[in-house]
Structure formats: structure tokens, C-alpha cells
A and B are shown apart, each in its own frame.
Chain A
Amino acid sequence: MENKDTHNFINNLVEDESFISWVKSDFTEDDDIWSQYIDKHMDQMDQINEAIGLVRAIDFKDDNTIDTKKLWQRIESNIQIETPIKATIVSSLNRWRLVGLAVAASVALFLLFRPGFDAEKIVNTGIGQEITETLPDGSDILINADSKITYDTKKWDAERNVTLEGVAFFKVQKGSKFTVQTSQGRVEVLGTSFSVNQRDDIFEVICKTGKVAVTHSASSTTVVLNPGDMSVIENGKLVLKSAENGVTHKITWIEGVYTFQDASVSDVIDELERQFAVEVEVPQGIDSTMYTGFFNKGDLNKALYAITWPLGLTYKVIDNKVILSKE
């Protein structure tokens, strides 16, 4: 009979998430870790093998009898798939902006296809818009409203380099160094997910998974972020706000939630204008009032209520215009 230690040794391996994915991926994922582990535990090879055998043995057959095409047709016939929401975005922009977009698009096309020119790709979002861009290596960028990313499709394999103006969430595939360049500094990672906010003199980075290195150009300082950590610029210096005491910094905007802590009303209104493509008229003298709270993207009236109620204001919506006034 095995003794208790052996028992625990095997069970610990079988329950280890990294060990499971190593075995299930036919010894490719996390292979460096487990090769080293085996070298160090050669005397326990029998137990390691039992653990491997067990993880491999717990596998089940695919048992698929449903006609998935037919089921999809049934689903499709019961939902009204509307025309893409792009149409509503366009209608909310004014005519001149449309002309501007068309001009910008043709300039971009011209630049893109001009022979001999770098294969530079630019993705620009308008106000109220959000776009997902998939990079050549499968990494994804969710680009927030009124933001711009640039990268070189030809040089991509040699260096993963993206320039950002504005706000974006990055989900980076594992691989070589991935760099996000902004006017305030750069963010370097290997494979992880994080959000960068660089508008005006803001330079805010929140790490969701993995490790992220943030470098501030002006002070030439670097901090390393772990999951839940955030870096900001305070008084011209790069400051790390770590995820201690159970307080983790979350990237809420990708869920459509915009949160503010002691933010000036003008910052909040700027964000509202950007996300809903509206113009907001603010009564005099409240610009520097502080606001703590949040609004949800999706319903303008609810968002306006969330902002105006704590400030003791009322609002009126007329087409693309919002007028705030004191009660």
C-alpha cells in the first residue's frame, strides 16, 4: 500500500492546473517548467508517471449527434438579426464628419497601396465607436472611442510594435516582445492582457493577466505591473498602484462601465461626449466640481441620470445635444 506522502505527491500533480495543461497538450504547454521539474525529481519518476497516466486516462469521447447546421437555422429563424450597428453609428455623426471620414479613408487607402510605401496600417475610431482589430499574430485590440492605433503589417513578424493615441485594451498572444508606444511612454509585455489610457497628459495602464513593463518617457522610469496593478502619472512621476489589500484595479470600460474617482466634472463630460457622440452644454462654474461614480454605455438617459443626480443637476436631451442645468 502506498504511504500518505506518495499519495499526496501524486494527487498534487494531478490537480495542478499547469501540470494538466502540460499533459493534455501532449507535453508542449509549460514544457520548460515540467522538464526541469522532472530533472529535479528523477527519484520520483514512478509517481510522476502515475500522475501523467491518470490525467491522460481521464478523457471522454466526443458524442455528437445533433445536426448543428439545422439547429443553427432554427436559432437564426427565431432571432431577428438586424443590420449591423455601424448604420446607427453613421447616422449619429453629422454629414461633415462623414465627408471627413470618406476623405480620411481614401487617404489611408492611397497611403496603404502606394508602391514601395511601408505597409503601415492605421485604425481610427470616431466618437461613440468601438472597434476590434486583430493583429497578424492573432492578438486582439479593442479600441475605445476617439482613439487611433498604427502598426506595420510587413515588419510585424520581426517586431510587434503598436502606436496608440487614446484608449485601448490589448489581449496579446504569447511570443516575442510586444510594445505599445504612446506619446507619454511605452508598455512592454510578452503575452498578457492589459488596458492603456493615453489621452492628453494621462498615461494609465492596468494589467489584467501576465506581467507588464511600463516606461514613462519624460522621467525615464519603469515599473512592472502584476495582475490587478495599475500605473498612473502623478505630479510628472510614474506611480505604481499595486493590487494590495484585496483592492484590484479593474478594466471596467471593456464591460461598458466608465468609473470615476474624484474626477473633475469636465473630465466626466468629455468621456460622456466621446462615448455617446453627443454635445453637452454645462452650466457655468461647475467644471471643477469633483465627481465620484460611474455611468454605463448603452443608455444615454441612464448615464445622464447617474452623472447629474449626485451633482444636483437636471438634464434635457435634444437630438445630439444635451443641456445640463442647475435645479
Chain B
Amino acid sequence: MSDEILWSKLKQGDAKALREIYDLHICDLENYCKKFTKDIELIEDVLHDMFVNIWQKRDTIGHTDSIMSYLCVSIRRDLIKRINKSALIISLENTEKLDTNFSISAEDILIQEENSKIDKIKLEKAFEHLSHRQREAIYLKYYNEMSYEEICTVMDINYQSVRNLISKGILLLREKMIMVNVLVFIQILQLMYF
């Protein structure tokens, strides 16, 4: 079912639509949240509150034709607010600037078998050179496969900024990594000609 129709069913009070939205996106949402914090209890609370909230406010919430980005906007705002709040309590004495982290560790990186020549550690190190925002934009683009417009909505920045974040991020990744493509090349030829 398409996003706009599923959403309009939810807005009309169809509880099955809420369940369907939950089932479709809960895993991706959890993955996304974990890049901001490892605090599972906090993530569960934020996810719980969001789903309760969209159900209770279904009459007044806006319309969307990309449910995943709608949910990401809401979860991101809430998560960052709560992370900063708890950080504030812990580090009251600390003058360190409160910022949102978007971390990608070696364990997060999926290395497909045929790609095993690409060093996991190398890729992780390369990600370290990226800013948090570059990392987040790249994550949404290549993992969640969001459109540039959807990323604008989620990160609340304009189109050109998203293009720049991704473009510069990709350049940096490439500079920091030496790609081994021979294996991929052979695979493509096989796919195309055999």
C-alpha cells in the first residue's frame, strides 16, 4: 500500500494502519536511533511516545507521502532533545558544547562477502573524517535510500545543503579509502554478459 493512502487511513482512525506503519518501519527507526545513542531504554521510550502521539493526534497531524521521513523527523527531534537534557544533567560543570553525535562504528558497517577486500577498519576510519551531519546524510541516502528531498525534511536543512553534505562526504570517503574493485568488476561482467 502506498504511503499516502496508508497515512490517510491512519488519519481516519484505522488502527490496522498504525500497526502496519509500526511493522514496516520499527527496525529501520531503531537502527537510525542507535546512531545517536546506545541507550536502548531511551530509544524504546522515544519510539513508544511517538507512536502513541501520532495515534492520539491523528486528526491534526499533517499529511505526508513519505512516512519514513515523517517518522524520522519526529523521532530525531525528540531524541536529540532528550539526549541533550540528560547530557546537561551529567555535565553541568562541564562547559563542553552539547552537540548531537551521529556515530558509525566498525560493527555497523556491513561488508558483503564479494566486497570483503574493502577493509572494514579502513571504511570506519574514513567515516571518522566525516562530520556528524555528513555521516547522517550519507546514512539516510545509502542505507534508508531516501531521496534528497526527504533528507531535507528529516535534517531540516535546504536542498543545496543536503547535496553538499553528501557530495563532500563522498569525496572524503573516497580520498580516505583505496577501493579494490576488481572483484566487483568481474561480478558486473558476469551479470551483464552471462
Contacts and interface: CB of A to CB of B under 8 A. Distances in A.
A56 interface: yes
Contact of B14 (A45, A74, A84): A84
Given A53-B180, A54-B170, 11 more contacts: A17-B147, A35-B192, A49-B184, A54-B173, A57-B111, A59-B109, A60-B143, A66-B44, A71-B26, A78-B48, A256-B11
Nearest to A24: B145
Interface stretch (A7-15, A178-186, A266-274, A317-325): A7-15
B9 A132 contact: yes
Contacts of B19: 72
B8 to A, nearest CB: 6
A158 interface: no
Interface string B1-19: 1101100110111110001
A20 B145 contact: yes
B90 interface: no
B40 interface: yes
Q: Most B CB atoms within 10 A — which of A10, A55, A59, A140?
A: A59
A58 interface: yes
B194 interface: no
Interface string A67-80: 01001101100110
Contacts of A226: none
> Which 10 A-B pairs give the minimum distances between C-beta atoms?
A255-B63, A171-B2, A58-B142, A81-B15, A59-B110, A61-B110, A53-B181, A49-B181, A53-B184, A49-B185
Interface of B: 1-2, 4-5, 8-9, 11-15, 19, 22-23, 26-27, 30-31, 34, 40, 43-44, 47-48, 51-52, 55-56, 59, 63, 104, 107-112, 115, 118, 123, 138-139, 141-143, 145, 147-148, 163, 166-167, 170-171, 173-174, 179-181, 184-185, 188, 191-192
A71 B30 CA distance: 12
Contacts of A134: 1
Given A49-B181, A49-B184, A57-B118, A140 B141 contact: no
Nearest to B51: A75
Nearest to B122: A57
29 contacts: A10-B174, A11-B171, A15-B166, A20-B142, A35-B192, A50-B174, A53-B118, A53-B180, A53-B181, A55-B142, A57-B179, A58-B138, A59-B112, A59-B143, A60-B139, A68-B23, A68-B27, A71-B44, A72-B22, A81-B15, A85-B12, A132-B1, A132-B8, A134-B1, A142-B4, A171-B5, A193-B4, A256-B63, A298-B59
B188 A49 contact: yes
A34 to B, nearest CB: 10
B155 to A, nearest CB: 16
Contacts of B112: 56, 59
Contacts of A50: 174, 179, 181
Contacts of B185: 45, 49
A169 B7 CA distance: 14
B55 A79 contact: yes
A108 B52 CA distance: 39
B113 to A, nearest CB: 11
Contacts of A169: 4-5
A58 B51 CA distance: 30
A143 to B, nearest CB: 11
A14 B63 contact: no
A189 to B, nearest CB: 14
A193 B13 CA distance: 24
Contacts of B14: 84-85
A89 to B, nearest CB: 10
Nearest to A88: B13
A63 interface: yes
A66 B43 contact: yes
A24 B111 CA distance: 14
B138 A17 contact: no
B145 A21 contact: yes
Q: Most A CB atoms within 10 A — which of B5, B13, B14, B44?
A: B5
A66 B15 contact: no
A66 B22 CA distance: 13
A49 B192 CA distance: 13
A78 B109 CA distance: 36
Contacts of A60: 31, 104, 108-110, 139, 143
B4 A46 contact: no
B107 A38 contact: no
